[in-house]
Amino acid sequence: MTVILRGLAWLRDSIANQAERFFLRVLAAGPVPRHVAFVMDGNRRYARKQQKQVQEGHVDGYVALRRMLEVCLRLNVQCVSAYAFSIENFKRSEDEVEALMKLAEEKLLELCEHGDILDEYGVRLNVLGRTSLLPEKVQLAVQKAEYMTRHNTRAILNLCMPYTSRDEITTAVESCVRNADPSNPIPATFAGPDRVPDHGSRCPSKTFSRQLYLHDRHPTPPLDILVRTSGVKRLSDFLLWQCCEDTQIQISSTFWPDFGLLDFVPIILDFQRKAWGRRISL
Ligand code: FPP
Ligand code: MG
């Protein structure tokens, strides 16, 4: 009896998996975002709701990240960026920070293993932010994971940790000032991505963008969609420079660990509707 039930469960999962693959292939035939970013919020509220430990909420959050990464890769999204740890998160309890660091170390090593998701889909991993603030063991895991995936060219996963946009922007400004050519005039303002003319300024916008964590080592495509989960309407200091005029900001009321295909499909359909609308009006 148990064997029959197990067999039926396997059959059900296998059919669901095939149906999902087929559906994603159909969706991928339309315009697909080049770069999707996730503010993975709501892990602790999810844990409270499920009567789990906070740490378990973060573990389930990691499972959701893998799930959404795979969905994006099947849709042929070129670049996925995820806010895994803000510099501000160091202010959380010692226990929570320690658990998050342990999770990061363990999962970074798991992600880059041969045969795992990054290898299977040809994804290059970048860990972006003020990585010198991470414990040494995590820094070693970062170096190993980045090294193992350095030749992958089909897609990019940017794990932003420990990151804030203000840190990214001030670091880039400092770098521009250090590299400035004193024979050129000083720019009046930084007006936004690629808005400042490249002529006659010491640190034009394009040069400035190249100093950002998200552009530093490998150019990333423009940010098409920024998803924030858990219903909170804040950017939380994430990708402020990259949220250019065409970025679609999407707020989902689902807590991150519960976020899945059913939450993401309406976001992609909305993107496709707007992309088709733009093509027709051109
Ligand atoms: C925000 O929810 C989530 C985080 C601060 C951590 C996100 C980390 C993961 C999903 C795992 C990342 C995996 C790797 C490999 C680094 P919250 O804690 O603010 O929850 P709340 O909004 O309900 O309080
Ligand atoms: Mg939160």
What pLDDT digit, counting tens, does each position of 64-100 carry?
A: 999 999 999 999 999 999 999 999 999 999 999 999 9
* Residues forming CATH 3.40.1180.10 domain(s) in the chain: 31-163+222-282
Identify the nearest ligand to the CA of 40 by its number: 1
Residues with C-beta atoms within 5 A of ion ligand 2: 41
Burial class (CB in 10 A: 0-12, 13-18, 19+), 275: middle
Strand order across the 123-128 sheet: 123-128, 155-160, 79-83, 35-39, 225-228, 248-251
- Residue 131 Cα, ligand 1 centroid: separation in angstroms? 17
State yes or no: pLDDT of 281 exceeds 90: no
Write down the CATH superfamily of domain 31-163+222-282.
Decaprenyl diphosphate synthase-like (3.40.1180.10)
Instruction: Look over the chain and give the mean of its residue pLDDT values, rounded to a whole number.
Output: 89
State yes or no: pLDDT of 13 exceeds 50: yes
Q: Is 43 in the pocket of ligand 1 (CB under 6 A)?
A: yes
Model pTM score: 0.89
